[in-house]
Amino acid sequence: MALPPLVLIPGLLNDGELWRDQIAALSDIADCIVADITKGESLEKLAAQVLTGAPSRFALAGFSLGGYVAVEMARMASERIEQLALLDTSIRADSPDRAAVRKALDKAARAPGKFHGFGDRLLQTYLADSHLGDEAIVSRIRGMTKRLGLEVFVRQNNVERKDGADVLRALRCPVLILAGEFDALTPYADHEAMAALVPHAELVRIADSGHMTPIENPTAVNAALRRWLTARR
């Protein structure tokens, strides 16, 4: 008997390596499919691409930028999404300040010299302090950065983030909202606000983790995803 499909959407400068531990832990209950969001220039295009390659109905999990894409997919085709998980992400449109930060990152990335992606300074905003010295975690993140490179970074960095509050309010499927307790990019308090829009959502805080929860604390993330996946079975 075929396993129910689970579409996993990585974040900015992430590939399937982000979900390595989740795929290993959940493949007994789900057919895990990693989506590619490296080629579109808007949330609409990215969402449409993932929907085109996805089964007719599926569970959906999006991390960071992938969460924005997942919400856009729910806006476009909610009837196809049986369950939705949003990890370390946001539903807020870019503020002028955040847009300015993106422009600055864009300029720095295009500067002459080798593209380093997640340098030491940027990693400090992505990881909990306890993981900054963990070479296994750091090398996994930098490996994704190296594989995807400058072109993908610029394209993804310039995708306009859209407000998704209306989409969350309309959801009727099982919803998981998860974030690291030390996430500096998409703080846990923002996820509490997101969960308040979906009264039936499960809200999970991952201890001793920053933004990169699937890599920083895979055991806790896997447990939360397993509960969510089995909620309707």
pTM of model > 0.85? yes
Amino acid, single-letter form, for residue 178:
L
- Contact of 62 with 69, CB cutoff 8 Å: yes
Question: Stretch 38-64: mean pLDDT, rounded?
Answer: 97
Q: What is the mean pLDDT of the chain?
A: 93
Fold of 1-233: Rossmann fold (3.40.50)
Domain boundaries, the chain: 1-233
Q: How many residues does the chain have?
A: 233
* Cα four-point dihedral sign 5, 137, 15, 207: positive
How high is the pLDDT of residue 118?
A: 64
Place of tokens 């890599």: 215
How high is the pLDDT of residue 233?
A: 53
Pairing of strands 58-63, 31-34: unpaired
Tokens of 202: 């499960």
pLDDT single digits (tens) 148-194? 999 999 999 999 999 999 999 999 999 999 999 999 999 999 999 99
